[in-house]
Amino acid sequence: MDHAITDTSAETVLRGALELSKNSWLLALQLPDRAQPSLYPIRGGDTEGLMAKLTAARDRWAKVSGKAPSIVLCYEAGYDAFWLARFLKAHGIECLVVDAASMQVNRRARRAKTDRIDVGMLLRALIAWGQGDRHVWSVVRIPSVDEEDLRRSHRERDRLVRERTAHINRIKGLLFGQGIRDINVKSKYKTLQIDKLVTGDGRPLPPRLASEITREIARLALIQEQITALERERDQAPTPCKITERKRVQLMCLTGIGPAIAAVMTREVYYRQFDNRQQVAGFLGLATSPHDSGDVERSQGISRAGRGQVRGIMIQAAWLWLKHQPKSAITRWFVQRTAGQSGRIRRIMLIAVARKLAIALWRFVEQGLVPQGAMLATR
């Protein structure tokens, strides 16, 4: 979470909220001498128009109060990401980017939803936040340009891996439909001779089908080349984020933590500063969500907050940890708890392993504490 807004009296702060969409923005400003906020429609992406409205409001209130106020704006994280927050900060305006999923909303089945209602809700939450209420929403940490750019390699690689899988499955399906089985397309596509394949009933492949498979193989080869280039960029390209890169190299010193997991965890998670283990688990969405009301007391499972891709990587890391770190305290805990249990219970308990491992890795990169019983890799 970001720290609180600098404590300033209401008369010297203009608070505003932005409701962003692709074609239009709606700015709501709360002037201290008005009970209702002022609403200003702005063309989407028109930063000059936005600054003109903010400057006019600041000048107007400066004439009334005799002192130029500071401006605090907020908007929900979405398509516009963080560039707007950086733009406003460069112009001396404090900006909060809010996690939209953390906003409290009306629970009626057919609640009214308009841009005016949404921007008003944001503005009221900002006012409450400025008064010290830290439970109205969650504020997103705005990464630097370098930190954000550092994520591009592994995120693009993940998309290409899914695309590669789709092409491999398509080729397998086309061949299987002709009775051709047991071909490892992923490793043999470069040497696969389409014109020499024979169908299950003894015929060569039809010409149009052979052409389609050839084009699929060409696309698969291109994607594989791009994946190789991205992996090289991910692991070797220089970056000004020295601390994050030091943590990435440090993580790979543990047996079972490879380049892909180390890159994702350091560049998506451990680049941040956490105060305690609860924050680590909560950021990954691996913290439990209790339901305790009246006589009902139960656990709703993990919160699943944050990026699902990062949480999935952490669960993969947990499986690999159990395999490659059999003497670690985390693995021994898992083995004791799941002895004689079904596969379903083992999969549930793996989530707890992922949570424990995420916290252990955080302590390793921040404090240098090697997880108890863990082996270091010999590279």
- Cα–Cα distance measured from residue 300 to residue 49, given in angstroms and rounded to the nearest whole number: 46
- pLDDT value at 205 more than 90: yes
- The SS3 call for residue 301 is strand
- Cα–Cα distance measured from residue 108 to residue 124, given in angstroms and rounded to the nearest whole number: 20
For residue 101, give the nearest of 269, 265, 289 by alpha carbon.
289
Q: What is the pLDDT of residues 95-144, one digit of tens each?
A: 999 998 888 888 787 888 899 999 999 999 999 999 999 889 999 999 99
- pLDDT value at 195 more than 60: yes
The pLDDT value recorded for residue 35 is 86
- Segment 238-244 shows an average pLDDT of 93
Mark residue 298 as left, alpha or beta (left: phi above 0; alpha: psi -120 to 50; beta: remaining). Answer: beta
354 touches 318 (CB < 8 A): yes
The pLDDT value recorded for residue 112 is 86
Q: Which helix (H) or strand (E) holds 162?
A: helix 152-176
Distances, alpha carbon 347 to alpha carbons 351, 354, 378, in Å = 7, 11, 30
- pLDDT value at 10 more than 70: no
The pLDDT value recorded for residue 379 is 59
- pLDDT value at 378 more than 80: no
- Segment 225-251 shows an average pLDDT of 95
The pLDDT value recorded for residue 11 is 64
For residue 271, give the nearest of 247, 306, 301 by alpha carbon.
247
- Segment 242-259 shows an average pLDDT of 95
Average pLDDT score, the chain: 91
The pLDDT value recorded for residue 358 is 97
- Cα–Cα distance measured from residue 280 to residue 290, given in angstroms and rounded to the nearest whole number: 18
Beta-strand ranges (E) seen in 47-105 are 70-76, 94-98
Q: What is the pLDDT of residues 328-350, one digit of tens each?
A: 999 999 999 999 999 999 999 99
Q: What is the pLDDT of residues 160-179, one digit of tens each?
A: 999 999 999 999 999 999 99
Helix, strand, coil share (%) of the chain residues, nearest 5: 55, 15, 35
- pLDDT value at 301 more than 70: yes
Q: Which of 65-69, 95-99, 269-273, 292-296 has the lowest mean pLDDT?
A: 292-296
- pLDDT value at 8 more than 60: no
Predicted TM-score (pTM) of this structure: 0.84
Long-range contacts, stretch 109-116, CB < 8 angstroms, 24+ apart = 115/19, 115/21, 115/24, 115/26, 116/26, 116/39
Confidence of residue 33 (pLDDT cuts 50, 70, 90): confident
Q: What is the pLDDT of residues 47-82, one digit of tens each?
A: 999 999 999 999 999 988 888 899 999 999 989 999
Share of the chain above pLDDT 90, in %: 80
Type of residue found at 84 = L
- pLDDT value at 6 more than 80: no
Beta-carbon contacts of residue 214 (< 8 Å; ≥ 6 apart): 194
- pLDDT value at 297 more than 90: no
Distances, alpha carbon 143 to alpha carbons 17, 196, 218, 271, in Å = 21, 54, 38, 9
If one compares 4 and 99, the residue with the highest pLDDT of the two is 99
What per-residue string of b and e applies to 153-173 under the rule 16 or more CB within 10 Å gives b? bbeebbebeeebeebbebbbe
What distance lies between CA 362 and its chain's CA centroid? 17
DSSP result, 241-292 = -HHHHHHHHHHTTBTT--HHHHHHHIIIIITS--SSHHHHHHHHT-SEEEEE
- Cα–Cα distance measured from residue 69 to residue 90, given in angstroms and rounded to the nearest whole number: 17
